[in-house]
Amino acid sequence: MRNSRAIEITVGVFVIAGLAALFVLAMKVSNITAFQSASGYTIIGNFNNIGGLKVRAPVTMAGVQVGRVSSITLDKKTFEARVAMTIDNRFDNLPTDTSAAIRTSGLLGEQYVGLEPGGMPTTLKDGDELMLTQSALILEKIISQFIYDKASGDGGGSGK
């Protein structure tokens, strides 16, 4: 009797530990962090194609997360994706000529926005728009271009 009670308690502890691990994994996958406040300033970037970029995707600079994507909309005049990014107040000295590019972590990983600082002495303020943006590289488009080049006999090189 005593032995079966100890086994039941051990199994219960393992079940609780497993559920806790699943909860942490779900939080990591869904990109929700530990109830962070959204304090910061917003900058806007217009992109021709955002690929699979999603709201709450990281915004990084030199590999360090400096913010998150707060909204994605379509500009009705230019038909470009308008990406609003909330940058943490600690990084309030980004130059006005900062550029943004949509990157992919790993070969088929999630997409994020990578910022590259410029050299201007003036800094970005709340609501400013980035002038230099680079759209996402679409793997299917690259493969189809490669196949088209091979089919046309170009082969991607000059052949000299």
Together in a domain, 12 and 75: no
Instruction: Tell whether 76 is covered by a domain.
Output: yes
Per-residue confidence band for 81, with pLDDT thresholds at 50, 70 and 90: very high
Q: Residue 134 falls within a domain, yes or no?
A: yes
- Residue ranges making up the domain that contains 106: 41-145
Number of structural domains in the chain: 2
Residue 118 — φ and ψ, nearest 5°?
-95, -155
Domain match, 22 and 47 both: no
152, part of any domain: no
Q: Are residues 4 and 49 in the same domain?
A: no
Q: Mean pLDDT throughout 82-105?
A: 92
Within this chain, do residues 104 and 131 fall inside the same structural domain, yes or no?
A: yes
Amino acid (one-letter) located at 128: D
Residue 13, pLDDT > 90, answer yes
Q: Which of 51, 43, 68 is nearest to 130 (CA)?
A: 43
- Judge whether 55 and 71 are in contact, CB under 8 Å: yes
pLDDT bracket for residue 35 (50, 70, 90): very low
| Consecutive H or E run containing 140 | helix 139-151
Is position 87 within any domain? yes
Write the CA distances from 10 to 18, 23, 106, 150, integer angstroms: 12, 20, 39, 62
In a domain, 156, yes or no: no
Q: Is the pTM of this model over 0.85?
A: no
In a domain, 154, yes or no: no
